[in-house]
Amino acid sequence: MGEHTLGQGQSLIQPQPQPQPLPAATPPDSDLANVPPQTHSPATKIPLRPRKIRKLSPDPSTSESQTEPPKPAKSGGRSTKPPPPPRALAVVPRIVARSLSCEGEVEIALRFLRNADPVLSPLIDIHQPPTFDNFHTPFLALTRSILYQQLAYKAGTSIYTRFIALCGGENGVVPDTVLALTPQQLRQIGVSGRKASYLHDLARKYQNGILSDSAIVNMDDKSLFTMLTMVNGIGSWSVHMFMIFSLHRPDVLPINDLGVRKGVQLLYNLEDLPRPSQMDQLCEKWRPYRSVASWYMWRFVEAKGTPSSAVAVATGASLHHQQQQQQQQQPHPPQPQLLDPINSMFNLG
């Protein structure tokens, strides 16, 4: 019995040190005791191994060196992709138009328009080039613009002559002098009460420093348009005429001018008269000399027998001379003008 117990004890003692090498040699007795830990350990290790693999795959030094360069490349690409367009735009020759009164600028404009618009080229060859050589102070030109609004040429000239005499000559047409004229004085020379308020509003904005001749000359087109349309009685059409014929700005498109719109319709054989909102797109090819192209639209309309006061400005002909020609060529009364007379307003020719 003792021996059996010792033998049994020995046999029981021997399997106890064996649990340590259980991973290498798994006896049947120890398997039953160690099954739970083995079943739990692989269950936890199996999902962990793919996670480790997923983490290790991007982490090696070789993969990091491969993945890191593209990241700066992507960020660099985002920063470098925008520059290429500007570089491409910078490479394209860009014409910076000068004042049309600068020597040789009209000739440069005509060469550009011939190449940019083959449809316009025949008109340039037929008609004499425009001239932009009058120089009046901006205040005087704007004052004339207000006085000639909605008046026939003869009536406007009569009122303007009396207005100049009231101011002591064209050199006396300054803000202080105009503000000193009462509505009654202006009414006596034929200026309506509404136009008198327009003249005073213009002079007041000069006196307050909102406008000045130097500021007007140095403003860009967009800012100038915004500032001048703030003056009572000066609308977009008056500003466009002032910019072309007084300041000689090269890239002004009078989208509201009926003569220019009619010329575009005839030039491109459009079924309908283009709307002002369509003019920019139709005349985009004329940039940066849309003022000169507009001048040819007036000439084109004139040649088609549809007189316009703006044509008189462009050609330098007086409205009276135009009416005489129309009466000689046509037995019936002359066609109504598309626009109010402005040839004396800018005194071209």
Report DSSP letters for 268-328, one per residue: TT-SSPPPHHHHHHHTGGGTT-HHHHHHHHHHHHHHTT---HHHHHHH---HHHHHHHHHH
Q: What is the pLDDT of residues 193-237, one digit of tens each?
A: 999 999 999 999 999 999 999 999 999 999 999 999 999 999 999
- Residue 117's contacts (CB-CB under 8 Å, 6 or more residues apart) are 285, 286, 293
Most confident of the following: 5-19, 85-99, 192-206: 192-206
CATH domain 96-132+250-325 topology: Endonuclease Iii, domain 2 (1.10.1670)
Residue 97 has what pLDDT? 86
Measured CA to CA, the distance from residue 204 to residue 138 in angstroms comes to 15
List, by residue range, all CATH 1.10.1670.40 domains of the chain. Answer: 96-132+250-325
DSSP state of 274: P
Residue type, 180: A
Closest Cα to residue 262, out of 152, 339, 341? 339
In the predicted model, is pLDDT for residue 36 greater than 70? Answer: no
Angle at alpha carbon of residue 314, lines to 308 and 316, rounded to 5°? 100
Question: CB of 291 within 8 A of CB of 320?
Answer: no
List, by residue range, all CATH 1.10.340.30 domains of the chain. Answer: 136-247
CATH domain 136-247 topology: Endonuclease III; domain 1 (1.10.340)
Say whether pTM exceeds 0.75: no
For residue 71 the two structure tokens come to: 């990241």
User: Band of the pLDDT at 172, cuts 50, 70, 90?
Assistant: very high
Q: Which stretch of DSSP H or E encloses residue 99?
A: none
The helix, strand and coil proportions of the chain, stated in percent and rounded to the nearest 5, come to: 65, 0, 35
